[in-house]
Structure 1
Amino acid sequence: MTLRSKLGVALLALCVSLPALAMNLEQAMAALGAAKAQGLVGEQPNGYLGVVGNGGQAADIASQINAARRAQYQKVASDSGAKLSDVESVAGQKAMERTPAGQYIQVNGKWVRK
């Protein structure tokens, strides 16, 4: 087997295994509470999660949940005739208000413990 063939096989194996490593929405939802408690992710005023500290699967958790939130916000905006940015802002404000003490929220672009 040539070097090129070996690299091709290795690349194919990597591509096949990557989807198995990716987190799905259900797993992200299950991990969200712990990630917030550990200070890895926090709520932002724009209605989406942000990564506070790189650790564990913080980026994957935020990405999966943000995609689901974005879809829900778009549905609410479409159903109500509101602008998407308005729906995101209201959702962000509510999420930040509901965030328990000790967890992170973003205020004026900076992460702070509530």
Structure 2
Amino acid sequence: MTRKMLPKLTWLAAALGLTLGVPALAQSGVVAAAMSAGTVGEQADGYLGVAGTVGADVRSEVESINIKRRAAYTQLAGQRGVTVQDVAAATACQTLTRLKSGQVYRIGAGAWQTKGAAAISLPSYCATAG
């Protein structure tokens, strides 16, 4: 993703806030519990990731949620004339800014980090700081 993409991602992020309920896709009972425990977290690619040891039920639910996210991203990308990766990245920018203290997240291929009181240092393609 290039700096040239920033205006498009800014617009896309605003549109996503109104049209795509990603937090709803991210919350099931077992996944919510795993997120609270720090074994599942949000990633800068717009998908959930497993950050620790989890059971098969949690892993399966994370995969299911990611499949639903991909379908939603694909649909919105087609409507907006952008790539699926652009939609996923814009969504991730929003999602990462909404993390609660104690939740885990990962930027790129980096290590899993725990959200503290301070804002997250977002990827360069995000329009604003988290």
Q: TM-score, normalised by structure 1?
A: 0.71
User: Deviation per CA, 1:38-67, whole angstroms, max 9, x where unpaired?
Assistant: 111000000000000122333112101000
Identity across aligned pairs (percent)?
Answer: 34
Structure with the bigger RCO (C-alpha within 8 Å, sep 6+) is 2
User: Deviation per CA, 1:12-59, whole angstroms, max 9, x where unpaired?
Assistant: xxxxxxxxxxxxxx9x72322111001110000000000001223331
SS at match of 2:85: helix
Structure 1: which amino acid aligns with 2:82?
Answer: A
Structure 2: which amino acid aligns with 1:31?
Answer: V
* Aligned positions, number: 88
Could you tell me which residue of structure 2 aligns to residue 100 of structure 1? 100
Structure 2: which amino acid aligns with 1:113?
Answer: T
Residues in 2 aligned to 1:112 and 1:31: alpha-carbon distance in whole angstroms: 21
Q: Whose radius of gyration is greater, 1 or 2?
A: 1
What stretches of structure 2 of length at least 5 have no aligned partner?
A: 1-24, 116-130
RMSD (Å), alpha carbons = 1.7
What stretches of structure 1 of length at least 5 have no aligned partner?
A: 1-25
More helix by share: 1
Residues in 1 aligned to 2:52 and 2:75: alpha-carbon distance in whole angstroms: 30
SS at match of 2:112: strand
Structure 1: which amino acid aligns with 2:87?
Answer: V
Could you tell me which residue of structure 1 aligns to residue 111 of structure 2? 110
Residues in 1 aligned to 2:112 and 2:61: alpha-carbon distance in whole angstroms: 18
Structure 2: which amino acid aligns with 1:80?
Answer: R
Residues in 1 aligned to 2:89 and 2:51: alpha-carbon distance in whole angstroms: 20
Residues in 1 aligned to 2:82 and 2:54: alpha-carbon distance in whole angstroms: 36
Could you tell me which residue of structure 2 aligns to residue 13 of structure 1? none
